[in-house]
Amino acid sequence: MSTNIIAIDGPAGSGKSTVARALADTLGWSFLDTGAMYRAVTCEAMYQGVDMKDDDALGTLASQVQIVTLPRVSVNGRDVQDQLRSDEVNTAVSLVAANPKVRAAMVDRQREFAAIQESGTVVEGRDITTVVFPNATLKVFLTASLEERSRRRDDESEHSVARRDHADYSRLVSPLRQADDALILDTTGRSIEEVVGEIIQCLKNIDSK
């Protein structure tokens, strides 16, 4: 088991998933997209007809579902990859992610995943550096302009992205925020390789100390 963890946070469309995947591939580490986990729970709640405002029902569902994130996202053996970015999920996922019982269930799973990896883990999400892995080897906060982030989300409207920004930053449980000791990178106009290279250089600097 390894305690090597690179935790990456940032708002929607900042490049977290793309950068985290590329970084994990470069390092030969495992990768975990925690946002996909919340979207998977949302898909299953919609599939089962669970009331998104029923905290107890959502919490029970989150604690019981089987979620696989690679190579495609599935819930209880049902492939939901193509549903994750639908308008319905985009609208509902903020409610699900703000549910404290859902977050508790997901955080437990995220920590369990990292604990059994032999090399290291690159984890990305909204509360990874501040809540899930506050003692991560390296913490990174990615950001980008609203226009750029909207374009990256398959031209999701700036209004929709801004709405989810507000939900992420203002929720009572595990809000999105920059960890004080995080490496802050603005990815606007930058290549994946450039961002990954800067993160790896920062990791090397830590290892050399």
- pLDDT tens, residue by residue, 175-190: 889 999 999 999 999 9
CATH number at residue 203: 3.40.50.300
The reported pLDDT for the residue numbered 60 is 97
Say how many domains are in the chain: 1
Question: Rounded to an integer, what distance in angstroms lies between the CA atom of residue 2 and that of residue 201?
Answer: 20
The reported pLDDT for the residue numbered 31 is 96
The reported pLDDT for the residue numbered 155 is 59
Residue ranges of the chain with pLDDT lower than 50?
A: none
Tell me whether residue 140 is exposed, middle or buried, using C-beta atoms within 10 angstroms of its C-beta: 0 to 12, 13 to 18, 19 or more.
buried
Which residues does 204 contact at the CB level (< 8 Å), separation at least 6? none
Q: Give residue 44's domain range.
A: 4-207
User: What's this model's pTM, rounded to 2 decimal places?
Assistant: 0.88
Q: What are the beta bridge partners of residue 6?
A: 122, 138
Report strand pairing: 78-79 vs 74-75: antiparallel
The reported pLDDT for the residue numbered 2 is 64
